[in-house]
Amino acid sequence: MEATQFKHASLPRQQAGSTMMETVVALFVLAIGLLGTLAMQANGVNSNQRANLVTEANLLAADMVDRILAFNDIDSSADDDAYDGIDTSSGTASLPDCSSGCTATQQIAYDEAQWAEQLATTLPGGVGKITFDSTTNAYTIQVMWDHNRNGATGTGCTGNDWGESATELTCYTYELRL
């Protein structure tokens, strides 16, 4: 018997390592997606913090509005500017002893001291300033804080209201017309 020789049919070569490359590409796409999700999460936390601080600033400004309105005699314009010039950045306000009642001057000092304490404990680097414009008969109540917690100080706001630079305070302004 003659030995039969079998010729191997030429089979197409299979691609070696294609599954490994597909896996690497899939992991790379997944990693990019996870990094995007992480960035969105960090941005969301920052936005929530900003919203919380703005809400607190609004409440603190509204608290001072309530104090001014409670003090102001609607029938007299003599006390309209009683709270003008309050600036809590000096940190020197102290609570007067009103155990037997407050005079008008003591009441203003009491309100200033309480407001200064609330600003300092509620907002990072929180300070407030009140001015009265006699031509419009309106108070401007400004609440300022160091949103980025980078040591920004001062009594005013420049540029962007959201305190994006290292030297700017974030500000919230409330106007009250009497």
Token pair, residue 165, equals: 């630079």
Residue 167 counted as domain residue: yes
Which tens digits make up the pLDDT trace of 54-91? Answer: 999 999 999 999 999 988 877 677 777 889 989 888 77
Q: What is the pTM of this model?
A: 0.73
Residue 81 counted as domain residue: yes
Residue 146 counted as domain residue: yes
Residue 39 counted as domain residue: no
User: Domains in the chain: how many in total?
Assistant: 1
pLDDT value for 11:
57
Distances (CA, A) of 32 to 29, 42, 43, 75, 79: 5, 16, 17, 67, 63
User: What average pLDDT does range 173-178 have in this prediction?
Assistant: 88
Residue 17 counted as domain residue: no
Q: 88: domain range?
A: 53-96+103-177
Residue 156 counted as domain residue: yes
β-strand partners of 131: 140
Q: State the pLDDT confidence band at 165, using cuts at 50, 70 and 90.
A: low
Residue 64 counted as domain residue: yes
Residue 20 counted as domain residue: no
Q: What is the full DSSP assignment across 120-156?
A: HHHSTT-EEEEEEETTTTEEEEEEEE-TT-S----S-
